[in-house]
Amino acid sequence: MNLADLFSDELRQEFAERNIDLGRTILIEIPNFGVTYPKYIVIVAENENEFAIAYVVINSEINNFIFPTPYLKSLHVPIDRASHDFLDHDSFINCTEIREFTKQEVIDFISAHPERVVGNITEGILTAVHATLHSATTIPKIIKVRFGFA
């Protein structure tokens, strides 16, 4: 039994809704991602009209096979372990793409697994992520417009 099991569904729902916030970091399994283990994601935007949440993924390193060019490597924002105690080591936030969940998917996940909300990235890193997403040519304009990065 985990501590969250002691709280009512209503309290868990309220907690989940409060934790959908820019910069919030969650350890989650990502469908159709190609790995079978949970990854850290960072919420970077919300589209209230479509009830959608935009997120990016934290990776422990930049995969040179998937991101072979200097430009693609430049779309990875470094994130330090010293300022983010949920990390085991310095890592990189992949800003080559914006991924999304519905808001309800995130609420349901956090309600079921509140311990997976691990913290926030620093304001400086969130600003760097937003700037990188804004300038990234790898992200379709329609996605950028939907989430305010155009």
What's the domain count of the chain? 1
Residue 3: predicted pLDDT: 52
Owning domain of residue 93: 3-147
Residue 35 in this model has a pLDDT that exceeds 90: no
- Confidence (pLDDT) at 8: 77
pLDDT at 92 over 70: yes
Residue 85 in tokens: 């105690």
CATH code: domain of residue 44? 2.30.30.110
Query: CA–CA separation, 48 vs 136, rounded Å?
Result: 23
pLDDT given at position 7: 66
Asked if 120 and 25 touch (Cβ cutoff 8 Å), the reply is yes
Higher pLDDT, 6 or 133: 133
Mean pLDDT score of the chain = 90
Residue 84 confidence (pLDDT)? 97
- Do β-strands 24-28 and 39-47 pair in parallel, antiparallel, or remain unpaired? antiparallel
Q: By CB neighbour count within 10 A (0-12 exposed, 13-18 middle, 19+ buried), where does 23 fall?
A: middle
State yes or no: pLDDT of 2 exceeds 70.
no
- Confidence at residue 5, expressed as pLDDT on a 0 to 100 scale: 61
pLDDT at 97 over 70: yes
- Between 82 and 18, the higher pLDDT residue: 82
Residue among 28, 25, 3, 2 at smallest CA distance from 86:
25
Contact 133, 144 (CB under 8 A): yes
